[in-house]
Amino acid sequence: MTRSAEGVATDTAERRAVVAKRVESGSADLTEITQLAAAAGYDVVGELTQTRTEDAAFMFGKGKVAELRDLVRRSDATAVIIDNDVGPYQTFNIGGELPEGVEVIDRFTLILEIFGQRANTRKAQLQVELAELRYELPRAEAKASLAKRDERPGFMGLGEYDESVERDIKRQISEIRDELESIAAKEEARREQRRDSGFDLVALAGYTNAGKSTLMRRLAAEIDVDENAERHPDLDTTAESQDMLFTTLGTTTRRAEMEKRDVLLTDTVGFIADLPHWLVESFESTLDSVYRADLVLLVVDASEPVAEMREKLVTSHDTLYERNEAPIVTVFNKVDRLAPGVLADKRAALSGVAPNPVAVSAKTGAGVAELRDRVEDELPDWERERLVLPLSDDAMSLVSWVHDHGHVEEETYADDQVTLDFEAKPSIVARARSKASGLAPAEST
């Protein structure tokens, strides 16, 4: 199947792409690769698919590659984006059949390009660089192996082999891992500092475009405050809310608006289908925000077909349960897009992988109040405590501290004493007891 686009604006001529995909059976779906191409800044001007077994030399059949060449010429494309894991020699062979200057990009190269465009922090930049090096390493190793076998400095038009390249890639990978481990240690210390301050840590997880960033804005406190104004230095600006893949590459943390609990909500990079293990591992330190949370909200686009929702839920659970020990609450988002009765059908169909989900519309706010209640119910239990304190300046400082770190149910004053009934995390209760034990009675005047 081929299709070309007409009437494309001239200012996008430098980023015109044909998207292509081969599948073993059934029909190829180009929806996601088209979205990825748009996220990378390409104007998709043509499509090509094929259903057949993989051709070792060209990925597609030789006749389909000729069809691809003609489509590229007609649409004046500057790139061909292939939604498959294309080997280095297949890439070279396909490129040799296309007009000069047309770039051949596979799925993972495109994802890395998007990651590179969105990497605005040192950590994100390191993770992108690590992913790129991991992508390049097997290609360098393959190049080395064939060069040694053929006893030639160059082969198949892929350039001259230099054995130092492979060693250099491995050295760079090791150095980046060391720096990421250092960053991770600092972030873990920050997480513990936040917990010591009485905060519960809740992470948003899920696939790209499930609406995580929009939901975060719904849950975030001080949503109407100018994001350029001063705020607590421990918090970031609220994540963007756009209908675009990979808007969130790093992590964004904001204080959530809850009735009792002090909650910090972290939005992270979204999952995406068919990512290879090496790419997931490259962003492991970003996923630590999910793995080490007190609660995970797994956000799913409820407007998608049941089969697609189930596949994403199963894959997400596999990723999360591998290392995560926190409870997971499934959130069916975008319910405003569902016809009456459809939500109940989807709840029933997915009950095995999504028991008792919370249905919300981050766009309209429907169900968000129920989600707040669910978050507080699912967080680790607090302890109840009653402290009877001598009325003094130090005692009043402790009362203020408890208000900041827990939820005060009752505060009463009588007979030069203050009685404080409150709930808080066990660690906060222990610290409050310790502080109270050192208080001296107020001096009489």
Is 210 a known ligand-binding residue? yes
Rounded Cα gap, residues 196 and 397, in angstroms? 17
Q: Is 41 annotated as a binding residue?
A: no
The response to whether 345 counts as a known ligand-binding position is no
Report whether 84 belongs to an annotated binding site: no
Q: What DSSP string runs through 201-227?
A: EEEEEEBTTSSHHHHHHHHBTTTTS-T
Between strands 417-424 and 407-414, the pairing is antiparallel
Task: Determine whether the annotation assigns residue 207 to a binding site.
Answer: yes
How many other CB atoms are found less than 10 A from the CB of residue 391?
A: 15
Residue 268, annotated ligand binder? yes
C-beta separation of 45 from 10 below 8 A:
no
Is 361 annotated for ligand binding?
yes
Q: And the tokens for 160? A: 């001259």
269 labeled part of a ligand binding site: yes
Tokens found for residue 119: 């990497």
- Tell me whether residue 270 is annotated as binding: yes
- Dist CA 300 CA 298 (whole Å): 7
Annotated ligand binding at 83? The verdict is no
Pairwise CA distance, residues 143 & 189, whole Å:
42
Q: Is 208 annotated as a binding residue?
A: yes
Distance (Å, rounded) from C-alpha 389 to C-alpha 382? 21
Residues 255 and 262: beta-carbon distance below 8 Å: yes
Annotated ligand binding at 42? The verdict is no
* Matching residue, tokens 């169909």: 349
- In angstroms, the CA 330 to CA 313 distance is 9
The pair of structure tokens assigned to 326 is: 């926190």
Give the contacts of 54 (CB within 8 A, at least 6 positions apart).
22, 24
Cα torsion through 107, 113, 114, 118, rounded to 10: 160
Six token digits for residue 264: 């910090």
> Is residue 212 part of an annotated ligand binding site?
yes
Q: What percent of the chain is helix, strand and coil (3-state, nearest 5)?
A: 45, 20, 35
351 among the known binding-site residues? Answer: no
In contact, 285 and 178? CB cutoff 8 Å = no
Local structure of residue 402 (DSSP, 8 states): H
248 is in an annotated binding site: yes
> Which residues are documented as binding site?
206-213, 248, 267-270, 333-336, 361-363
> Which residues are documented as binding site for Mg(2+)?
213, 248
> Which residues are documented as binding site for GTP?
206-213, 267-270, 333-336, 361-363
